[in-house]
Each structure stands twice: as C-alpha cells, then as structure tokens.
C-alpha cells in the first residue's frame, strides 16, 4: 500500500515538474517575442491583446538546427538547414506553412500544426522545388491550394485534406501528387495566394513598377472532383498593386497587403475594398512591422503573420529573427487612438 502510494506521489510530482517546465518555457518564449517587438509598439500591443485568448503558439522548429527534407536526387530524407517559410493557411483544426529549400537541394514541403495544441503534426513533401510563396484554404471543399511554378502563367496545385493526411511522404521521401494543377490565366506568376468568398485570389510580386492581383471564381458544384476537372481559371477582375507585395488578406470592408523586401522594416498597407487600385494614392494607412514578413491571414478579428527571418539565409540579417507565427488583434491595430486617417503612416 505504501509502495503504491509512493508511486502515485512520484508520478504526480513528475507531472507537476513537466507542467512547470512547459509553463516556464512558454513564458520565456513570450518574453522574447515581446522584446523582439519593442521597435514596433503598435504590433506589440496587438500581439499582447491577442495573447489574452491564450491561443497556443506555433513555432517553426528546425529552421537553424535543420529539419528533415527530401533530397531532389534519390528522394532520401536528410537534414536541411536552409528551409525557408513562405505560405500560411488555416483550417478550423490545422495550421499549414509552406517552405522551400534555400540551397535548392531539397523538395519544397508543407508543415502541418495542430491549432489546439500548437504542436507539429506532420510534414508533406511537395513535387519539385517551387517557391511556394502562398497557401490558401478552401473551407467549403476542404482543399489546400499551393502556388507552384507555372509556364508563362500563374499556377496552383490542389490538395484535399483527406489526401494530405493520408500522405506518408515524410517517411518515404517520395513527393505527394496534387489532386489537380490549375493555370491562372492573365497573371504572369502566382507569388502569393488567398481564398475569400469562394474566390481564389492570386498576386504577382513586383520589385519595381506595378504588381497585379487577379480574382478567380472557384467552381460551386460539390465535390473535389469538380475542381480536378478544371485545368485553367480565367479572372473575374484584375487590380494593379504597389511594389513588394508578399500577401493579401481581407477584413470586413478592408484589404490588407503585406509589403516586404530585404532587412528593412516590413509594412501592412490597408485599403478600402472598393479601391480601383492598391497603391500609394489609395492606401488608407500603413503599419510598420518587423522585417521579412511573408503571408498574412485573417480569421475573424485576428491577423496571423508568418515571417521568413528565422531561416538560415535571413536570421543573421536582423537582430530579431522570428520563428513564431505572430497572432495580432485587429481591433487594436485599427483603434481610432492609433490615428486612423487616410494615407497616414503609423509608427506609434
């Protein structure tokens, strides 16, 4: 009896220790992120406000130490220290991040995280080495769209969640096969992507001149097989953009564009939805962000932000590499006390 009691007490103490260690590690990570955002007070406040919901933090582990990736030649799994985050998408239960190999020796891949715990669930090896600059999740058909390399036009691949979770490419190194591949007509390349009100919205990145966003209506018939029949989408509308756009997201009557290039501060430009073009003349206001911002995603009143600064190629170019998916409270970002006025840059 005493031995059994002692075993129970011992197990209880071990559990308490593990919980304490997890809590301490979580607090340390939060303290670090808070310090990283010191130069961006508005972002810092929005992040702190979102933390009140205690949503689990998603951290991309292995960016500097190496993560398993499939070699381009031979399909054998090996450690890669050059995987670079690019695309972000959310389903109700899962968070998806796309990555490409910075030294072009390994296949691009998708990391899958459990949103309830924040834990990494699995990796999916993609065909070839596309830049995978954007992800989009179609909740109606449970399809994950991925930007891939096109031939003179934008191109996306479709993966049903059923196929994605049945995939064993992480063990075999053999890439998954897309359910379908669709060319996006009248756009030179699909650099970023989102899904909004049953439209697939793709944009092309431009370092100089103007970029372009095109809106493609998705098939309305039920079933993934209806998407697979399509090999080409034509745009409903096209809109020109400013330079350096990395992603697009929608919130109520606003359009958010993430702009980033190089080690200088990124920005989020916010426009009214009815704007005829997304440029300096039509922007309502701009928010300064940490460098190397990639895809942003809106869910209800939260803005999820993915950065590539944690990747080997960029982590030494900024004093504060970010390996976490930052979740920001949108009402805090848009609060009237921030000086919400047309065409005003926000640094506070």
What is the per-residue pLDDT for 21?
Answer: 44
What is the per-residue pLDDT for 12?
Answer: 62
Q: How far apart are CA 89 and CA 79, in angstroms?
A: 25
What is the per-residue pLDDT for 126?
Answer: 98
Which residue's structure tokens are 């031939």? 151
What is the per-residue pLDDT for 54?
Answer: 87
Q: How far apart are CA 106 and CA 323, in angstroms?
A: 21
Contact 193, 147 (CB under 8 A): yes
Q: How far apart are CA 137 and CA 249, in angstroms?
A: 12
Which residue's structure tokens are 């869910």? 299
Contact 223, 260 (CB under 8 A): no
Nearest to 210 by CA among 255, 248, 242, 186: 242
Nearest to 139 by CA among 197, 202, 205: 197
Token pair, residue 94, equals 């899962």
What is the per-residue pLDDT for 7?
Answer: 64
What is the per-residue pLDDT for 229?
Answer: 53
Q: How far apart are CA 296 and CA 326, in angstroms?
A: 10
pLDDT along the chain (348 residues), means of 10: 63 52 47 81 95 92 95 95 98 98 97 97 97 96 93 91 97 96 93 96 96 91 50 94 98 97 96 96 95 97 97 93 96 71 47
Nearest to 333 by CA among 301, 311, 299, 306: 301
What is the per-residue pLDDT for 8?
Answer: 66
């Amino acid at each position: 009896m005493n031995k059994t009691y002692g075993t129970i007490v011992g197990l209880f103490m071990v559990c308490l220790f593990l919980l304490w260690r997890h809590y301490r590690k979580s607090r340390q990570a939060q303290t670090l992120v808070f310090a990283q955002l010191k130069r961006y007070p508005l972002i810092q406040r929005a992040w702190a406000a979102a933390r009140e919901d205690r949503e689990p933090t998603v951290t991309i582990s292995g960016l500097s130490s190496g993560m398993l990736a499939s070699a381009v030649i031979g399909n054998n799994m090996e450690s890669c220290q050059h995987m670079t985050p690019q695309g972000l998408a959310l389903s109700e239960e899962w968070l998806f991040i796309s990555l490409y190999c910075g030294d072009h020796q390994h296949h691009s891949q998708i990391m899958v995280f459990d949103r309830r715990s924040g834990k990494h669930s699995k990796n999916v090896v993609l065909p070839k080495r596309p830049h995978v600059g954007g992800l989009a999740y179609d909740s109606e058909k449970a399809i994950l769209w991925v930007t891939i390399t096109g031939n003179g036009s934008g191109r996306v691949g479709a993966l049903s969640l059923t196929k994605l979770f049945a995939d064993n490419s992480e063990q075999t190194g053999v890439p998954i096969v897309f359910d379908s591949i669709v060319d996006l007509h009248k756009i030179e390349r699909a650099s970023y992507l989102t899904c909004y009100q049953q439209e697939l919205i793709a944009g092309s990145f431009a370092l100089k001149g103007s970029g372009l966003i095109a809106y493609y209506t998705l098939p309305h018939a039920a079933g993934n097989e209806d998407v697979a029949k399509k090999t080409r989408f034509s745009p409903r509308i096209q809109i020109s953009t400013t330079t350096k756009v990395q992603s697009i997201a929608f919130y109520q009557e606003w359009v958010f564009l993430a702009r980033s290039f190089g080690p200088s501060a990124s920005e989020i430009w916010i426009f009214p939805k009815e704007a005829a073009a997304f440029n300096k003349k039509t922007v309502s206001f701009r928010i300064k962000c940490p460098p190397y911002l990639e895809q942003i995603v809106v869910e209800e009143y939260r803005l999820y932000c993915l950065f590539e600064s944690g990747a080997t190629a960029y982590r030494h170019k900024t004093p504060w590499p970010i390996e976490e998916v930052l979740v920001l409270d949108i009402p805090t970002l848009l609060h009237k006390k921030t000086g919400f006025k047309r065409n005003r840059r926000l640094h506070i």
